[in-house]
Structure 1
Amino acid sequence: MATVLIVDDNAENLYLLETLLRGNGFNVTTATNGAEALESARKTLPDIIISDILMPVMDGFSLCRQWKADEQLKHIPFVIYTATYTEPKEERFATDLGADRFLIKPQEPEVLMQVLAELVEKRHTAVSLKPLGEEMEFFRQHNEILFNKLEKKMVDLEIANQRLKKNEEDLQKNEVFLDGIIENIPHMIFVKEAETLRFVRFNKAGEELLGQNRQDLIGKNDYDLFPKEQADFFTGNDRKVLESKQMVDIPEEPIETRKLGGRIVHTKKVPIIERQGRMQYLLGISEDITERKQMEDALRRSEEKYRGIFENAVMGIFRTTPEGRFLSINPAGARMYGYESREEMMQLVTDMAHQIYVHPEDRQRFKDLIGGRGSVEDFEAEHYRKDGSRIWVSMNARVIRDASGAVLHYETTSQNITGRKRVEEELRQTLEKLRKNLIGTIHALSVTVETRDPYTAGHQRKVSRLARAIAQEMNLSKDTVEHIRLAGSVHDLGKISVPAEILVRPGKLTALEMSIIKVHPQAGYDILKDVDLPYPIAEIVHQHHERLDGSGYPQGLKDGQILTEACILAVADVVEAMASHRPYRPAMGIDAALEEIEAKKGVFYHEKAVDACVRLFREKGFIFETAA
């Protein structure tokens, strides 16, 4: 049975390799450095030696050199087995020293056993020491390899130290960060040892609540700080947490403090468990809810005091949550919505936005207003009754808040205004009818103007139709198209103030007559400005003879000052006038009219309006209707 000498300063490596070799039938002796290995081998020759390189007293390279220089040992195979010296030049150096094999850790057990078996079988032909020249050459190469490796290890160690330092710094930062969070949480936070239930930590809020310095609290238990009855209660809940290994929520618990007296806190207690499953600490978080409880008690007393008013009011009185649930309803309120009792309404209505409001967005608008102002007056909305019928209600409401400013509920009074809304609607319809009659009257006046000027009969109607078509071609809104149409139908209303003989006079007008004609936009504006029309009709009529360069009349407005609607009407007015017969000239035709507005596009006339008008005639076949 062959004997193997293992040389390694690492006890774990020695044990593992020894166990492997013994399991494969080898006798094993061990040494922890080169000097110890030489001494052992000279006493009892092994059949093979396996050595690490980096070791105290004598390293593996020096051991190999002396081994191969020893007449008694040089024929015994020498195996270098290293995980540190793995570069080719290090392998060459070991080979030059006479090493029979240079193996890099780790090796598969089968491979290692095969190498050892082969070397043991050929041990009498083991490699001898190769000449390295002078003694100094050996030390030069030896030191160069060792120092390079040591230098690298020093660098690696420095990097590792830097990483460790950074990790420590990061850990400290995290601790500071967590400490900052814990210290600034406005609720009392405390930690107890699971085994003794003694306090090991308090935050600033805990000091302030209990009225004691945390140094005086650490190491104490509940019986050191509170009356026995309270301490029994606290400790009993601690035991529940530790036994169940789950959080325990205590909604209300009384606690005696040094400066604030008796308080009420809402506490949650959580077990902190190690990875091995052992209870280590108990974490507690306590919120002081004394003021909230006092507010609730005061509110309860207030409700009792004003219950009579609430019950006997003739209008609906409600208390509702921001989420849309009823907290209370008076009998009048339940009757207003068609419910047999307040209890029925509170039970059935759980979402006011969709069950009460005909238009749910009105509920959100109500919340936005009351949230911003704190109160709402005369808020009108359409509501559903129980049977699905609709009523209009007017609401006055205010926000009720607790001491910290948090919203508790909305307090609302509601009045059924369905009758009033019906009257208002009838009035609105009457006004609308009057407005339409007024517009009809204006049209009648417009027709009167045309009867005074037979040569321009139908001019306003044609201009209105063309202006509407231009507006549609420009993709303007339906409302804009409609008020352009209406303005076009009365744009020459002011000519009612112009003498008929001027309107029908053949030939060129004098300067005085032209100045009288130019008054008609202003005259039309004066007639229409006080009429309650839904669109700026009067201003469009006023501006329909203005030009972009300021050369128009009556105000001499320029681009940017003229309404787009008036610009469109101006284009339609010019095209229809040039294309039609006038007392002072024959009709010039559509082509001449289109050439005129194209030539003056951007100077007199709005570019987009001109382009739209040209497209209508040349591409889309628009024509003026002929008079019947």
Structure 2
Amino acid sequence: MMTYRRKNLCSFFITLLLVVSLSCAADAGEKTTRVLLLHTLSPEEIWTQQATKGIRSAFADRQSSAEIYIQYMDVAGALRSDRPEQTMKLKNLIRAKLPPGSLDLVITTGNEAASFLLVNEEGLFEDVPIVFCELTNPSILSVFPRERGTGVFSTSPVSLLLREIIRLHPGIPISLVADLTPAGLRDLAHFHNHLNSLAKRPEVVTLAGLSPEKVPLYRESLSRETVVIFGTCARTLSGAPILLGEMIGAFSSLSPSNPIYTVQEEGVSLGALGSVAGNAFLKGRRAGEIALRILGGESPASIEPELMDSNAMVFDFRKMSDFGITRSRLPRNSIVINDPADLLRKYGPFAALNLFVFSILGGLAAFLRKKIARRKKTEKDLLERSKYWETLFQHSPEGIIVYSSSGKIIEANTRFRSLFSLSGEQLSTESLSSVLPWENGTLSRKDFFPEGKTAAKEAVIPDRNLIPLTASFLPFSLSSGKEKNFCALVHDISKRKAMESELSDRAFFQEQLASVSTSFLLSQDYTGSIRHALETIRLLADAETASLFRIPVQNGTLLPEHEAIGPGGGPSLAEMITSTPGQHDRFWKQLIFNEGSHRHFSFIPGDITDPDFQKVRDAFVKEGIRSLSVFPLFLKDSFHGFLSLGNPSEKWLRNSEDTLFDMVRDILSAALEQRTDEECLERNNRAMNERFTGAIRAMCQVSELRDVSTAGHQKSVSSIAESLSKILVMPEDIRQGVLFAGLVHDVGKLYIPAGILSKPTRLSAPEYELVKKHPEYGRDILSPLAFPWPLAEIVFQHHERIDGSGYPLGLRREGIRIEARILSVADAYDAMTSDRPYRKKKTSAEALAELQLLSGTAYDPQIVKALEEYCSNKRAA
């Protein structure tokens, strides 16, 4: 037994020894991979922390057992390139952690770490592959040895920040704020490098080494409008720590109108308007993936450096509106925090789901509550049903009667008894046919005892005294056990029918008056509109005559404007007033103004008792005028006349109070006023034209006396020009202007010596130049006179030619007034067909042929065609 136990114990120890040996052999055969992660910035930087997480996550996903040693240049002070002792300190720290030759790969973050490796690789990182992350300096990338390293590079976040600040805040100075730590100085250097590369460098103020307590001291040195950009602000000059949020708060409270940006991504959550998100995690993860490929055996030269331009601007939505920044102005891929839309997108589905669930639960609860309430109400209704239905039956607004198939009245409510003046005793003793004798109305027996479905109908139902009632009647059957009963609902509609009739009449009345208003608004025919208005009003009033009278401005005496008389004839107020104008004028004015109101009134002519107006009374009675309805026509308190209706109906007198008729009266008043104004204007225009015409003809005679050789020329040109303007269908003012301009178109020759004008031979060049001045002299003579036509300009341009060869200005085409172009053709034609001291006249055909030859160059083609028609008409005459 002991031997057996000893054998088992020996076997156990031998097996244990073999396992330990194999484990040691395996450990000895597997080499530990060592990776140095060299950061430019300190471990407190969020960017550094995120990049480290990204690198570690890449290694963790591959389950790599590599040991990652981390060193920070900022902590070692090696960011200051002008301090070699700090660089040596960093090298010694790395040697202390990793003896030479023990590194398998180096990962750098930032430009400074990559630059440090390139300069100090001898004796420290010789032949060690390098993977760079966030390399933004193109010069470093261009000299990086491709056989040794590769990695991830991107554009500078500082460059993005400056570019967008300058775009969003153009022309505003920039203040750079950073501490004097290596990281702060590095940020300032980056800012100035990028500012120097700009074509137009903005005004920049650098504030270094500030603390929150010192911010007010430097505020006065800043512009009222400035953009504040924070770099690294972690330490004061004495080395005390600073919170970035405190610095942002100090600037915001002192000058809230200044936008604040930070290089640090977390600045936007600490009160800044915007910052830059470098997406350090993604860049670090990608650098870690490249590092694992190299550790797996790929050479750095076979892996091309990757551009990860994932920098993005981050903005605080709450501050964007303070500085007038809208979403449309943000750069692409911008991140907006505190955005209500993001909350809606993020929590909207969840809120909708909760709302849906709550609505279902609420609906279910409401359904249960309603069901319980309905059950309780049913129980209560069962107890009170008898009283309830009795109250409803008796107080129904409709008459209700219940009767048997034999015609016995079972019950009738209060309303039914009131409609047909019945007492309770009568209902109990009499039958349906005696209470409602339907044979005297529009109903029959089968209407009271229907079979099948029924519908309400309008009917005339007489009571026991045969007084008819217009009502809505609805009968239907009621089953009560074996006995069949009937019920009828009776609703009094007599008032409604009367109201419908009145509304129909009123609608027709308003429609007709609206047509009168429309006629005045849309038609230019004054007489036709007045005739239509009076005839429409006469028909509406059912009157025998409708007369409109107005007061002319000249004498203020009433005159009949228009009158509408019925087809069967009737009294004529217009003839009555015309036959005795004096008495009627005084009567009507006294009658209207004694009323003291603008409203209409009615009177009976037979009631006139004033002895001064007995003849007027007798005339009314003789003509058969029993009553008159008078509507004074006032506009802005000015009396223009009146509308009188002879023998109108009583129904008209009610409708005439309608406000729509007030508008028609206003339109009639305005029409009379316009007619009066037009007559005044016509008289004034006629008088003015006579004065202007006399002056123009006088000037025409004076100028023709001056030049006997061309006597009658101006009148002839005026006549021809007027005829041409009519052929061209010119407006009346242009035809008038051409007519009178033709009469004085040579009035400027009054300033030309008579000897030159009557010279029998051709004029010399100086003489011709003097004669060419007569359009200017004519304009000078006519300009001071305020003619209603532009005579001065027409006379001034009548020797211009459409090709610019005319005088005095050489105008072309539309630059010459149409009146002057017409006058020039008429002037040339008359001159050619008239004798002159130096030549004989041409025939009409020869003159027309010459003008046709010059058509389109010197003369307007359309006017020359009009002259052809003029000559043709003249020959035909």
State if a TM-score over 0.5 links the two structures: no
Structure whose alpha-carbon radius of gyration is higher: 2
TM-score (norm 1): 0.37
